[in-house]
Structure 1
Amino acid sequence: MSIGQTLADARTKAGLTVEQVSEVTRIRQPLVEAIERDDFAACGGDFYARGHIRSFAKAIDADPEPLLAEYDARFGSGPVPSPTVIFEPERVKPERRMAPNWTAAMAAAVVAVVGFVAFQVFSGKDDDKGSTATATSTPPPPATQAAPVPPPPPPPAQEVVAQAPVDVKVRIDAVTSSTWASVTNSAGKEVFDGVIAKGKGQEFTDPTQLKVVLGNGPAARLNVNGKDLGPASTKDHVVRFTFKPGDPQQG
């Protein structure tokens, strides 16, 4: 079986269309079809052809090494260059969070405290002067009996607040057919990249966030933080999600 026939057969078994492989690998759809026909002329040379074969094979969970060896034997015209990341499927990068400016906050707090102390000192001196002047000019008022102070009302009963989940948990089940999936954790590490066969499932956990890409959304069923979200999609094939702790929302 040739290189193109091997890739086409593996793609069909993975339940992916040419359009889905094109979107996952960023290889143009006509070029994907040409590779499946063993037509590598449009790849632009051995370097790019090897990269397309490697990316294509990885997207459908096939071993690229035997295919690359066959390409070198049949079509190759030079030494094999080292792999480059330009042919890797899309990797979702984690959002960068800015650290709070604690230095500015502490400086503002110190200024506020110093201002408050100075205000209290000068206010106390003015109050003492006013009290002395009043004592020399008027006699003290007669003593009056203080009115009784009613007791404070009892504090309201504390409401029990349900603690939100501390982790995000995602389960992917391939229901109607197999599907390619990619899962990236909050540290930006890809924890899964492959095909989930029909009738099988995979479960993932992270303290803060999980990013999910599915190549065949209508075939997959999602359960997030214990909540069944149903099919991942009703019409789009390649879908992307970002899930965090709490009540999940698709999208």
Structure 2
Amino acid sequence: MSENTKSIGETLRDARIAKGFTLDDLQQTTKIQKRYLIAIEDGNFSDLPGDFYVRAFIKQYAQTVGLDGNELLDEYSDELPSTKTQEYVDRVNEENPSTRSAQRKVDDRSAKIKRQVPIVAAVVVVVAVLIGIWLATTRSSQSSNSSQNVDSSSVSVSGSAAKSSSSAKASSKKAAASSKKVSKASFSRVSTSGTSTVYTMKNAPKTKTVKIVTSNNAWVGVTSAGTSVFQGTVTANQTKTVKLSADATSVTLNLGNAPETKISIGGKSLPISKATSSATTASSTTDSTTTGSTTTGTASSASSTSTTSQVQNITVQFK
């Protein structure tokens, strides 16, 4: 029994008042209900939830008002419920941090294992299903690839043969069309006036290339669309090539030595030498039928005509 004349409740009340705390202040600080605080101060420990809470609340109360809780419990141990009861022991074990922590770890481990069992089982099932699908897909893919390789080889060979045949046919048609177009090109004389002759070239090719060849040096001028394309002397037995624009509608050739010059357009020969020879022959025949004095003058004239006929002005219109 404590030699102190005050009860533990009175001691706590005096300390609270000395601190200037009300019961409401103490309730807010300790989180202990006000009725339990009043029961402690009045010594009515039976009003508290249990024997364990008597000591726990008193210790917390004491520490809040500036007293040593453990020392106070030892001093008034005779006034307090026994610590040997089973309820107290159980509650102490329950509230003991180390005991509670160990028990919680065991419980948590068991709960964790229980939670993981269905998850692991589900994962195993999913993995098994995925492996089965993968195996089935792999086998199907291998079978399909084997079939496709055989089919693709056949298709490739057939396709190559067909493509080669198609290319050959296309080339043949193109060559035939080109040859046909050149062969269809033709010249027709439209008019002749002095040394000027006009021709029409039907079925003229799109690419119009003029080739000039002379057996003797000859001066040649080439004009297209009012623009001089070439002017100069073509050396004997040499070929001069002049390319006209694709949209050219005509070309004019000025030949300084027409009888010795050969012209081809797009591979088609232009018949100019025959017309020149005919003009010269006709002039000579007419002059030979006149009298002696006249013959002399006409021969001179024929010679002059022959010299003039060397120069030809030829225009070719493309159709």
The TM-score with structure 1 as length reference comes to: 0.30
User: Which structure dedicates a bigger proportion of its chain to helix?
Assistant: 2
Tell me the TM-score normalised to structure 2 length: 0.24
Larger Rg belongs to: 2
With CA pairs under 8 Å and 6+ residues apart, which has the higher RCO, 1 or 2?
1
